[in-house]
Amino acid sequence: MFQYCKMRLVQAHEKVLISGWRSLLGEIFYLNRVAVPVEIALDALRPVTDFTRPADEAVMELSGELLGERHLRYRFQSRYLKALSYLGKGYRGFGLVKGNTVVGDVWCADCQQGPGPGSHPDEQWLGIRCHPGEAYTFDMFVDPAHRGGNIAAALQNGMLHLLKKRGVTKAYGFFWADNVPALWVHRTLRWRELRRVRATRLLLSKKLYVTVHGTR
């Protein structure tokens, strides 16, 4: 509990430094915000070469050993603490690494072993049902100092190719409809948009009250 509270406090502090108070409040309080669940079959991904990056950058799977022994580092302490927390919960992480710095990461709950510990709470309110051999992807972050130049698309596409190599056949995720960069990345990579979900969150409540409406 202490580590979780520490992570949250550091995360809030760094969020304000990066984006300001309005951005922080937008994450802990919203009314009828529209989420767009998406899915993608991994047998028809865009080639990695569509989003080339400098030679000193690569997408790789993260591990407790790499992070715990500081072989890889984050510029933001909150992201490092969150990565350790996710790994402790059994989630899998993939980072775009430049030198020995993780400049962006994305996480997934892998359902290859069947329903259970690998599932993620988002799946319920989004109406997503992962089956064995599928994965739910979530919480992509790119260091603001490195944004632009298709880095988000390169990170996400590289992660999907690594999941495919590990036997995953389909991935799910979501983005907020008012997040234009996220919408662009998902459509660029040809994710299929599913029904939309309206969500309300009050303060720090973990529960999201949702209403499903329409399809694309």
Domains in the chain: ranges and CATH: 2-213 (3.40.630.30)
One-letter identity of residue 6: K
**The pLDDT of residue 17 is above 90:** no
Considering the chain, what is the average pLDDT of its residues? 83
Report the distance separating Cα 155 and Cα 105, nearest Å. 7
Q: Is 77 helix (H, G, I), strand (E, B) or coil?
A: helix
- How many Å is the Cα radius of gyration of the chain? 17
**The pLDDT of residue 47 is above 60:** yes
Instruction: Report yes or no: 96 and 104 within 8 Å, Cβ to Cβ.
Output: yes
pTM of the model: 0.83
Q: Return the higher-pLDDT residue of 7 and 194.
A: 194
Which helix (H) or strand (E) element contains residue 92? strand 92-98
The tens digit of pLDDT for each residue in 106-121 reads 999 986 544 444 479 8
**The pLDDT of residue 169 is above 80:** yes
Cβ contacts of 22-29, under 8 Å, gap ≥ 24 = 28/201, 28/203, 28/204, 29/201, 29/202, 29/203
**The pLDDT of residue 170 is above 90:** yes
- 3-38: b or e for each residue (b if 16 or more CB lie within 10 Å)? eeeebeebbeebbeeeeeeeebeeeeeeeebebbbb
Report the distance separating Cα 25 and Cα 28, nearest Å. 5
pLDDT of residue 118: 47
Q: Is 192 helix (H, G, I), strand (E, B) or coil?
A: strand
pLDDT of residue 110: 81
Report the distance separating Cα 95 and Cα 57, nearest Å. 10
Report the distance separating Cα 97 and Cα 103, nearest Å. 6
pLDDT of residue 202: 74
